[in-house]
Structure 1
């Protein structure tokens, strides 16, 4: 009962204060990932009582904070004995924050609210996957129906080390711009990620995963949020080298990546970027740079030449508590170089149940050349059922 009251209090005291949308993608890259638990649900003969399942959730340890986890995956996963579906997982996702502006500086838009629900799972045979995810937050500037579809796709993993995905998914425009908001380190994305990337498009993509290299290559419609039918085409690709991939983590994890997104939607646009990241035990650090000659991101389509970079460092004091620091710089228009925006961020993440139940505290100092500086304190929570 205390656990349920705890969850209820979290939802009440950390309501979402933003209208932007964030999403999370089902991780299907790892062919060796464990299958969801197969307990039958809604069955009077189920050997586990509801009380026992709640006790299992309270005792559940989620040590991996680099991947998506769900609190109720065992309860809400159904395994079928016959028919085209092998498994079906019902899920819900809530991510909200209170954004406190403690100064009179220029306002900034942060994209970090999500209220989502859907299903995902496997088709019979285990080589084909599916997901249908809907989001219920209002999306500023778009109708409810335009913002409703999130991840809607089918995927095939018949080819070893590869997954072919067809549908509406997040494009690999940058490193942080292509990642789920459920696993990014801060409440808000870096400036290049929230301007150049963080968007979904309809298309077909191929993802490869080997010990020393990963890649994600795809062709898409350049439309976002179903505003028009195929206004142009877009290519988006990202390649990551893993020099320590054969060492089984003995010397840590090193990723060196780069990518390109190019297309046409009223105007031509090209975004290129580089990334380096290192993790060793409780320490992590990364750096990402991106340059855009026009871009088609989550917020808008622009013909501006823009660039930016960020660097992040983090350390887990305990398995549940992580401290973070970040420097983030962005120039929205290279032809008007006087406008440089810098953000200095510090944060603490408290992983109650990994990424499935998490509390976040961020401080952001925004330094603007053309506006007054500002200070923000962000209190957030994340719940994945």
Structure 2
């Protein structure tokens, strides 16, 4: 069995799917994407495909080594995401060829269900509370939200108070047996982190995510030392070497993205490395169904797994949502804040290829917003 064809599909709302077909007709799927840079990732996949056509798809680790190191220049989001999608598809093929889920090839399952959370929106405490109560009514017991828009390097007392007041209103609405995760999207400086986080401690967040930009990840020790809140980071880190500098800083949760950080192969290694620092795994995944399926395969084989992000109903999913490209949507049935272990071979999902090809006739050109401060300077989105 050899690789015969590699295709990519730009599909709404902002995703890139990848299809690998072997010469005997077996098909594997992956999701290589940098949100807002999908076309660049598709081009990188095309470059990598040249060395894969005609090769044995079962040599996953060898392919990973060559794709990540064989071109001399290494790393970065575009290349790592291209590798990630191909890696996912190769694992999907291997599982299908052997008739087992990927987690069986990673040592077997360590749990029967995985906890998931859902996103809520809103720029006020009342809007956050309303969305959280809706999520609670739908069976979720954990949500994640942004708590602010753009911030100054050291913002005003009023801005700080708005953050605290909005999240306090959210906590009061959902009660103490419900988890709240907070994503600051790298909008805090280290100084703002040290000012705001202690004020949020009475709210007992599950974790606070990306309080500072990834450029300052190795300096997170100053943040973790200033608060009892568990600190999470990692969606913009792309390898175990990136995480090597971060894990000793005292973070509590590692958040590699299966579509950015080298796929199943590398995130599996990142999870094992995190375990040696008593750090939990919560894969980043505001993406499509293939990325989620790949994440879950790792989750079910990872002892230090904490919780899984998923994108059903997220504000990015305009026009198409998580379940639209699946033949059987029941694999992502969320019950009591959990999803059951998938039993199908490979990634455990059946992609609706006809729907994918139809959607790809109108490829998206999604771009994130560019924000500016009142003085006209660039602001983190």
- TM range, smaller chain: under 0.3
- Judging by fraction of residues, say which structure has more helix: 2
- Judging by fraction of residues, say which structure has more strand: 1
Q: Which has the higher contact order (CA 8 A, sep 6+)?
A: 2
